Structure 1
């Protein structure tokens, strides 16, 4: 069962949908993710795409991210995210968009310091191909995009201004970190 690891909601156990519809990020992967992001924390804006249980975005809110947006289209997952945000007492710190990622991104205008995307592993490259320019548009200068994908697959490629910084493997999961150059940097 996933849980919040740190911050104001530390230790809160989170619900997850039954069955194999979601693949909650393992606690050790989540802990490593936020450890790597520590030098850039707190994030002013955090976007969690394909949010599933909402645990990554809720972890960000618990750790003090200024603005957290979670995007998930599955109705059962939306109910779970609402339940989890209530359990963690983070309802007022997060905004939930119950829609397809492409539609949600097109409707957003604010920029984010961190964007985390955990699409179904079989769709990672297709999602990056389809959403790459929108992700780059919404990422603040100097911001980071993190994609969780199958460790057997290469880091997704982008035709954007995002540069692959590093890839970190945790069992069958891989986190690929991309950074947008600060404005004025070449």
Structure 2
């Protein structure tokens, strides 16, 4: 799959893609729809990209005006790929990377975020734990938006702690769940 940035300062930039087929990057049409929805709040935001893979979603956020992005993945090779992509887009100074077991080690993050995007493997049913951890560890700014990508068959809760699902959008086999 060819990855490229869809909008903003790095529009059209081709990113390095994961070499294996176990990583499922968020499709371009899903990213485009996501950022069309977030366009009014992305500017100046702190963005958290969980299960970041190649980093396309977080880099797209930076390209569209996010002030800073934190990329988190459990795999060292994924974070190496994010580093390469950040360097390619000249965005290294706007990002932090963390190798953490998710959702269990989210407590190691300390910054509150305006926007959180989480794209766990579809076979890993950790969405509720993830939402709970974001609230428990106070990683959300007031009025934060959390977007969780899942497969069509996944059942996500309507609410967890202070978060309530406000919207759901389906794109083929992918579903975006919006919480705030």
Same fold (TM over 0.5): yes
Unaligned 5+ runs, structure 2: none
Higher helix proportion (structure 1 or 2): 1
**Corresponding residue for 1:173?**
174
What is the CA RMSD across the aligned residues, in angstroms? 1.5
User: Residue by residue, what CA displacement relative to the aligned partner does 1:110-167 show, whole Å, maximum 9, x if unpaired?
Assistant: 211100000001113xx23333332122111111000000023233454311010010
**Corresponding residue for 2:64?**
63
Unaligned 5+ runs, structure 1: 180-186
Instruction: Give how far 1:43 is off.
Output: 4.6
* Other structure's SS at 1:89 match: coil
For residues 151 and 175 of structure 2, the distance between their equivalents in structure 1, rounded to whole angstroms, comes to 6
The answer to whether the 8 A contact 1:47-1:116 is kept is yes
The answer to whether the 8 A contact 1:169-1:175 is kept is yes
The answer to whether the 8 A contact 1:43-1:114 is kept is no
Q: What TM-score, normalized to structure 1?
A: 0.89
User: Residue by residue, what CA displacement relative to the aligned partner does 1:92-114 show, whole Å, maximum 9, x if unpaired?
Assistant: 11111122234652112221110
* Other structure's SS at 2:4 match: coil
Asked if 1:107 corresponds to 2:108, the answer is yes
Of 56-65 and 153-162, more deviation after overlay is shown by 153-162
Of 9-18 and 154-163, more deviation after overlay is shown by 154-163
Structure 1 runs of 4+ aligned residues shifted over 2 Å read: 101-104, 128-134, 152-159
**Corresponding residue for 1:42?**
43
